[in-house]
Amino acid sequence: MDTYGSVYKEYFNPSNPMENRLVDDDESGQQHQFIFTIALETNITYILIVTTSSSNPTGAFSIFVSGPDNVDLKTISSPSIIQVQYSLAIQSNYSSELTTNSQTYSRDCRKSNYYYQAIRMHVVETGYYALISNSNMNTFGNIYEHDFNPMNPFDNLLPQDYRSCSYQDFKFIVYLHADTNYILVVTTSSPNITGKFSILTSGPNVITLNAYTAPKKSSYACMTYYPAWMLIMICSSINLMKKLI
Protein backbone atom coordinates (compact mmCIF):
# COMPACT_ATOMS: atom_id res chain seq x y z
CA MET A 1 0.00 0.00 0.00
CA ASP A 2 1.05 3.63 -0.49
CA THR A 3 2.11 4.76 2.99
CA TYR A 4 2.28 8.28 4.40
CA GLY A 5 4.28 9.14 7.50
CA SER A 6 4.50 12.09 9.88
CA VAL A 7 6.56 12.80 13.01
CA TYR A 8 5.19 14.91 15.86
CA LYS A 9 6.84 16.31 18.97
CA GLU A 10 5.30 15.74 22.44
CA TYR A 11 1.79 14.83 21.25
CA PHE A 12 -0.45 14.24 18.25
CA ASN A 13 -3.81 15.96 17.83
CA PRO A 14 -6.00 14.12 15.28
CA SER A 15 -8.28 17.15 15.09
CA ASN A 16 -5.38 19.36 14.00
CA PRO A 17 -2.80 17.24 12.14
CA MET A 18 -0.60 20.28 11.42
CA GLU A 19 -0.06 20.98 15.14
CA ASN A 20 3.37 19.93 16.48
CA ARG A 21 4.25 18.24 13.17
CA LEU A 22 8.00 18.20 12.51
CA VAL A 23 8.18 16.40 9.18
CA ASP A 24 6.00 14.38 6.83
CA ASP A 25 6.51 12.42 3.63
CA ASP A 26 4.44 10.51 1.11
CA GLU A 27 6.57 8.61 -1.38
CA SER A 28 10.20 9.72 -1.32
CA GLY A 29 11.17 6.08 -0.84
CA GLN A 30 10.88 3.23 -3.29
CA GLN A 31 7.51 1.72 -4.23
CA HIS A 32 5.51 4.69 -2.95
CA GLN A 33 6.88 4.46 0.61
CA PHE A 34 7.77 7.37 2.89
CA ILE A 35 11.31 8.15 4.00
CA PHE A 36 12.72 11.11 5.90
CA THR A 37 15.83 12.23 7.75
CA ILE A 38 15.27 14.06 11.02
CA ALA A 39 17.40 15.16 13.97
CA LEU A 40 15.97 13.77 17.21
CA GLU A 41 16.88 14.84 20.74
CA THR A 42 17.15 12.55 23.74
CA ASN A 43 14.48 12.58 26.48
CA ILE A 44 11.87 14.00 24.11
CA THR A 45 8.63 12.22 23.20
CA TYR A 46 8.15 11.83 19.46
CA ILE A 47 5.12 10.30 17.76
CA LEU A 48 5.32 8.63 14.36
CA ILE A 49 1.96 8.48 12.59
CA VAL A 50 1.69 5.89 9.83
CA THR A 51 -1.26 6.15 7.48
CA THR A 52 -1.96 5.92 3.75
CA SER A 53 -1.98 8.40 0.89
CA SER A 54 -5.64 7.70 0.17
CA SER A 55 -8.55 6.70 2.37
CA ASN A 56 -9.67 3.13 3.08
CA PRO A 57 -6.54 1.08 2.09
CA THR A 58 -5.31 -1.44 4.66
CA GLY A 59 -2.27 -3.67 4.81
CA ALA A 60 0.87 -4.71 6.65
CA PHE A 61 3.87 -2.41 6.98
CA SER A 62 7.32 -2.27 8.58
CA ILE A 63 9.38 0.63 9.90
CA PHE A 64 13.18 0.68 9.59
CA VAL A 65 15.24 3.15 11.62
CA SER A 66 18.96 3.84 11.30
CA GLY A 67 21.08 6.25 13.32
CA PRO A 68 23.67 6.58 16.11
CA ASP A 69 21.65 4.46 18.54
CA ASN A 70 18.51 2.36 18.90
CA VAL A 71 15.09 4.00 18.72
CA ASP A 72 12.40 2.29 20.78
CA LEU A 73 9.15 2.03 18.80
CA LYS A 74 5.92 0.99 20.47
CA THR A 75 2.23 1.32 19.68
CA ILE A 76 0.44 3.84 21.89
CA SER A 77 -3.13 4.92 22.50
CA SER A 78 -2.56 7.30 25.41
CA PRO A 79 -4.95 10.26 25.67
CA SER A 80 -1.95 12.36 26.75
CA ILE A 81 -0.01 11.57 23.58
CA ILE A 82 -2.88 11.31 21.13
CA GLN A 83 -4.23 14.64 22.25
CA VAL A 84 -7.87 14.51 23.33
CA GLN A 85 -9.78 17.75 23.04
CA TYR A 86 -10.91 19.22 26.36
CA SER A 87 -12.65 22.44 27.26
CA LEU A 88 -10.59 25.45 28.30
CA ALA A 89 -13.68 27.45 29.24
CA ILE A 90 -13.79 26.50 32.92
CA GLN A 91 -10.64 26.40 34.99
CA SER A 92 -9.70 26.10 38.64
CA ASN A 93 -6.42 26.51 40.48
CA TYR A 94 -4.90 24.98 43.60
CA SER A 95 -1.63 26.09 45.21
CA SER A 96 0.32 24.45 48.01
CA GLU A 97 3.80 23.41 49.11
CA LEU A 98 5.76 20.28 49.96
CA THR A 99 7.82 20.80 53.10
CA THR A 100 9.86 18.67 55.48
CA ASN A 101 6.67 18.43 57.56
CA SER A 102 4.72 16.89 54.67
CA GLN A 103 3.77 13.22 54.75
CA THR A 104 6.20 10.78 53.15
CA TYR A 105 5.83 7.44 51.38
CA SER A 106 7.62 5.12 48.99
CA ARG A 107 6.34 6.19 45.58
CA ASP A 108 7.82 3.26 43.68
CA CYS A 109 8.25 0.72 46.52
CA ARG A 110 12.01 1.04 46.03
CA LYS A 111 13.05 4.39 47.44
CA SER A 112 11.52 6.00 50.52
CA ASN A 113 10.99 9.51 51.86
CA TYR A 114 9.11 11.04 48.96
CA TYR A 115 7.26 14.06 50.32
CA TYR A 116 3.71 14.14 48.98
CA GLN A 117 0.35 15.83 49.24
CA ALA A 118 -2.93 14.04 48.61
CA ILE A 119 -5.68 16.19 47.09
CA ARG A 120 -9.32 15.14 46.90
CA MET A 121 -10.94 15.97 43.56
CA HIS A 122 -14.68 16.64 43.46
CA VAL A 123 -16.00 16.22 39.90
CA VAL A 124 -19.55 17.40 39.17
CA GLU A 125 -19.67 16.77 35.42
CA THR A 126 -18.37 13.77 33.48
CA GLY A 127 -15.88 14.50 30.71
CA TYR A 128 -12.26 15.00 29.72
CA TYR A 129 -10.21 17.18 32.05
CA ALA A 130 -6.65 18.44 31.96
CA LEU A 131 -4.64 18.73 35.17
CA ILE A 132 -1.34 20.56 34.82
CA SER A 133 1.28 21.19 37.49
CA ASN A 134 3.50 24.24 37.73
CA SER A 135 6.56 24.18 39.96
CA ASN A 136 10.29 24.83 40.13
CA MET A 137 10.83 21.30 41.42
CA ASN A 138 10.47 18.15 39.34
CA THR A 139 6.91 17.15 40.21
CA PHE A 140 5.35 13.73 39.74
CA GLY A 141 1.61 13.04 39.86
CA ASN A 142 -0.73 10.07 40.15
CA ILE A 143 -4.51 9.86 40.16
CA TYR A 144 -6.28 7.28 42.30
CA GLU A 145 -9.91 6.20 42.11
CA HIS A 146 -11.95 5.77 45.31
CA ASP A 147 -9.04 5.97 47.77
CA PHE A 148 -5.28 6.29 48.18
CA ASN A 149 -3.27 4.07 50.49
CA PRO A 150 0.32 5.32 50.94
CA MET A 151 1.31 1.85 52.14
CA ASN A 152 0.22 0.45 48.76
CA PRO A 153 0.87 3.08 46.06
CA PHE A 154 -0.29 0.75 43.27
CA ASP A 155 -3.75 0.08 44.69
CA ASN A 156 -6.56 2.01 42.92
CA LEU A 157 -4.01 3.73 40.66
CA LEU A 158 -5.43 4.89 37.34
CA PRO A 159 -3.48 3.73 34.27
CA GLN A 160 -0.32 5.78 33.95
CA ASP A 161 -0.87 6.17 30.21
CA TYR A 162 -2.64 9.37 31.28
CA ARG A 163 0.67 11.03 32.07
CA SER A 164 2.52 13.41 29.78
CA CYS A 165 5.51 15.20 31.23
CA SER A 166 7.63 18.18 30.48
CA TYR A 167 10.99 18.65 32.21
CA GLN A 168 9.60 19.72 35.59
CA ASP A 169 5.82 19.46 35.39
CA PHE A 170 3.23 16.77 34.77
CA LYS A 171 0.09 16.93 32.69
CA PHE A 172 -2.90 14.62 32.74
CA ILE A 173 -5.69 14.47 30.20
CA VAL A 174 -8.12 12.08 31.80
CA TYR A 175 -11.77 11.11 31.51
CA LEU A 176 -13.35 11.65 34.93
CA HIS A 177 -16.80 10.58 36.08
CA ALA A 178 -19.10 12.77 38.13
CA ASP A 179 -19.68 11.78 41.76
CA THR A 180 -16.66 9.47 41.77
CA ASN A 181 -14.01 9.92 44.44
CA TYR A 182 -10.62 10.74 42.94
CA ILE A 183 -7.38 11.49 44.77
CA LEU A 184 -4.56 13.40 43.09
CA VAL A 185 -1.20 12.71 44.73
CA VAL A 186 1.49 15.30 44.06
CA THR A 187 5.05 14.26 44.85
CA THR A 188 8.48 14.52 43.23
CA SER A 189 10.56 12.43 40.85
CA SER A 190 13.31 12.04 43.47
CA PRO A 191 13.13 11.64 47.28
CA ASN A 192 13.70 14.43 49.82
CA ILE A 193 12.66 17.26 47.51
CA THR A 194 10.51 20.15 48.77
CA GLY A 195 9.03 23.23 47.16
CA LYS A 196 5.92 25.11 46.09
CA PHE A 197 3.55 23.92 43.37
CA SER A 198 0.23 24.78 41.79
CA ILE A 199 -2.34 22.68 39.93
CA LEU A 200 -4.44 24.08 37.08
CA THR A 201 -7.51 22.17 35.93
CA SER A 202 -9.46 22.71 32.72
CA GLY A 203 -12.59 20.97 31.53
CA PRO A 204 -16.36 21.08 31.15
CA ASN A 205 -16.85 22.16 34.77
CA VAL A 206 -14.97 23.23 37.88
CA ILE A 207 -13.08 20.57 39.84
CA THR A 208 -12.97 21.34 43.55
CA LEU A 209 -9.55 20.49 44.98
CA ASN A 210 -9.06 20.06 48.73
CA ALA A 211 -6.13 18.77 50.77
CA TYR A 212 -6.76 15.24 52.01
CA THR A 213 -5.01 13.21 54.69
CA ALA A 214 -4.75 9.63 53.48
CA PRO A 215 -5.05 7.02 56.25
CA LYS A 216 -2.21 4.52 56.34
CA LYS A 217 -4.00 1.20 56.08
CA SER A 218 -2.43 -2.10 57.01
CA SER A 219 -0.78 -3.31 53.84
CA TYR A 220 2.49 -4.90 52.87
CA ALA A 221 2.30 -4.37 49.13
CA CYS A 222 5.79 -2.90 48.93
CA MET A 223 7.24 -5.94 50.69
CA THR A 224 7.03 -7.83 47.40
CA TYR A 225 9.37 -5.32 45.75
CA TYR A 226 12.65 -6.30 47.40
CA PRO A 227 15.73 -5.04 45.58
CA ALA A 228 17.81 -7.84 44.06
CA TRP A 229 20.70 -7.32 46.50
CA MET A 230 18.32 -7.75 49.46
CA LEU A 231 17.00 -11.03 48.07
CA ILE A 232 20.54 -12.28 47.58
CA MET A 233 21.41 -11.28 51.15
CA ILE A 234 18.35 -13.07 52.52
CA CYS A 235 19.06 -16.22 50.51
CA SER A 236 22.72 -16.16 51.57
CA SER A 237 21.72 -15.81 55.21
CA ILE A 238 19.32 -18.75 54.96
CA ASN A 239 21.97 -20.94 53.32
CA LEU A 240 24.49 -19.98 56.00
CA MET A 241 22.02 -20.88 58.75
CA LYS A 242 21.43 -24.28 57.13
CA LYS A 243 25.16 -24.95 57.13
CA LEU A 244 25.48 -23.95 60.79
CA ILE A 245 22.58 -26.19 61.76
Could you report the per-residue pLDDT of 8-26, keeping only the tens digit for each? Answer: 887 776 756 777 788 988 8
| Cα-based distances in Å from 162 to 127, 188, 198 | 14, 17, 19
Give, as one character, the DSSP assignment of residue 84: P
H/E element holding 130?
strand 127-135
Burial of 83 (0-12, 13-18, 19+ CB in 10 A): buried
Cα-Cα-Cα-Cα torsion 116, 183, 170, 8, nearest 10 degrees, comes to 160
The residue among 239, 206, 237 whose CA lies nearest residue 91 is: 206
Q: What is the pLDDT of residues 143-184, one digit of tens each?
A: 999 999 999 898 898 865 444 445 568 888 888 999 999 999
The order of strands in the sheet holding 3-9 is: 21-25, 3-9, 46-52
CA distance 226 to 83: 37
| Cα-based distances in Å from 230 to 147, 151, 196, 220, 226 | 31, 20, 35, 16, 6
Q: Do 174 and 162 touch, CB atoms closer than 8 A?
A: yes
pTM confidence score = 0.59
Residue stretches of the chain with pLDDT short of 70? 13, 15-16, 77-89, 159-168, 216-245
Neighbours of 58 (CB within 10 A): 6
> Which domains are seen in the chain, by residue range?
1-75 (no CATH), 90-224 (2.60.120.380)
| Cα-based distances in Å from 69 to 9, 49, 157 | 19, 21, 34
CA distance 29 to 51: 15
pLDDT at res. 167 = 53
